[in-house]
Amino acid sequence: MNESRLELAKLQSEILINQKGESEQTVAKCAKMHLNADRSAAVIAIIMKRDVEKRVPPNEEICAVACAVQNIALHASSMGLGGYWSTGASTNSPKIRSELKLNEDDLHLGWLYIGAVESLTAAKDNRFEVEGYVEFR
């Protein structure tokens, strides 16, 4: 495993155990964190760097970050890679904020894990018709 991803998994595990205690469930979650870090080619910290002049409301900046993450995920998919956005106990924790050198108004919104996929399966086409959840006026 890449040393940086291993360090991240160790830090995430430490934060989780400090928050939740060392139970069977947290130990299993920690093992999964290590496995996910090991399987990933990259783990990207998702961060909203707040505009220092605060020209845009925070919710718009958060939405812009979400759009950027979707674009990264779509591009990764176009290259045959898979990925997912994950949060958890370490998200925006003081230790992680310090590691990421975040300013007071910045937000850590989670992690984007990206890597090769073993197999691709087609998504089931059981979507609702747009009229079922969108109202046109």
Q: Give CA 82 to chain center in angstroms.
A: 13
pLDDT band for 117, please (50, 70, 90 cuts): confident
CB contact at 8 A, 18 and 11: no
Q: Quick check: is 103 in a domain?
A: yes
Domain containing residue 38? 3-117
pLDDT at 113 over 70: yes
pLDDT at 129 over 90: no
Number of domains in the chain: 1
CATH code (residue 77): 3.40.109.10
pLDDT at 91 over 70: yes
Average pLDDT over residues 129-133: 82
Q: Quick check: is 79 in a domain?
A: yes
pLDDT of residue 85: 95
pLDDT of residue 88: 86
pLDDT band for 136, please (50, 70, 90 cuts): confident
Q: Quick check: is 129 in a domain?
A: no
Average pLDDT over residues 49-74: 95
pLDDT of residue 132: 82
Q: Quick check: is 25 in a domain?
A: yes
Please indicate whether residue 23 or residue 121 has the higher confidence score (pLDDT): 23
pLDDT band for 50, please (50, 70, 90 cuts): very high
Q: Quick check: is 106 in a domain?
A: yes
Q: Quick check: is 123 in a domain?
A: no
pLDDT of residue 63: 97
Task: Give the rounded percent of residues in the chain with a pLDDT score beyond 70.
Answer: 95
